[in-house]
Amino acid sequence: MLRIAYFGPQGTFTEQAARALAPGEDLTPYETVRMALTAVREGAADAACVPIENSVEGVVPTTLDGLSDGDPLVAVAETILPIHFSVLTRPGGGEIRTVASHPHALAQVREWLEANLPGATVVASSSTASAAVGVVEGTYDAAVSAPVAIEHYALEELATGVADVHDAQTRFLLVRRPGELPEPTGADRTSIVAAAVNRTGTLAELLAELASRGINLTRLDARPTRNNFGEYRFFIDFEGHVAEPRIVSAMAALRRRCHLRFLGSHPRADDVAATVEPGAGNQDFVEAQAWVDAVLKGEGA
């Protein structure tokens, strides 16, 4: 059984993602994203499940920083969860005077609370799961939690599928130490972090290396380095797998231009096949290289 670290506590969306990415494995919650990643780096866990981006809140900065600092880790799988909450109460709990959750969760169910629990006092908690614990202990009357919380606490579902914005979703990664890569599927995502000198046009040049090879970006985030504005690392996700000749060509070109770290190639959770531009398919790269090789040997022109 694999030992899977996840950003806890128990009963959050990240646990739900870990169950989806590593069904039946041994899951252990860690207090922070950084601690879950450290567990993998130090060998206390075989892999870690961490959130990477949310369609409402944006990217998760601690995950980006945690992947780019320290020993290398690579993502080998991802999953996307819809962010729909359950509202949990004590069995036969009576009047709901207080409802608790993490401020981010409360912001995503504000309209639902106004419509369905208009009299309740809304209270901040440190996580959606700690709100559920607070209900068990009688501190609050209701918690806005991840659906998986019901499996840990003796509570009742007052409502499920609760969300003001119904298409909000979060993407999670399963990361481990570098090793065998997942097989290419034709619907893959490759992630890198690039640290280039702060010079006019640097990012344009990096992106041109991808664009000129017909490689489609799926995400780009600039994070300040050393906690200062003005100097940035670029987290770039694009379609394709590093085992493909077109991606190999792009990665080698980027490597010449900047400090580069590979963050993984793995199948996309949404199963969207890679766009391939005319003249930029893997066969085109292979044939072009073969032609140059032939020229070199005096066997063609």
Return residues touching a copy of itself (CB under 8 A): 53, 55-59, 61, 80, 102-103, 106, 122-126, 130, 165, 167-169, 171, 200-201, 203-205, 207-208, 210-212, 214-224, 226-230, 232, 270, 272, 275, 277
Min separation Cβ 243 and a copy of itself, Å: 20
Nearer to a copy of itself, 30 or 176 (CB): 30
Cα 267 to Cα 6, 194, 208, 274: the distances in Å are 20, 22, 24, 11
Structure tokens of 23? Answer: 């069904």
Min separation Cβ 225 and a copy of itself, Å: 10
Min separation Cβ 56 and a copy of itself, Å: 6
Min separation Cβ 77 and a copy of itself, Å: 16
| Secondary structure of residue 215 in the 3-state scheme | coil
Nearer to a copy of itself, 24 or 229 (CB): 229
Min separation Cβ 168 and a copy of itself, Å: 6
Nearer to a copy of itself, 5 or 276 (CB): 276
Q: How far apart are CA 285 and CA 250, in angstroms?
A: 11
Q: Which residues have CB under 8 Å from 54's CB, separation 6+?
A: 60, 83, 168, 169, 170, 171
Q: How far apart are CA 25 and CA 18, in angstroms?
A: 9
Torsion of CA 260, 263, 268, 269, to 10 degrees: -140
Nearer to a copy of itself, 58 or 94 (CB): 58
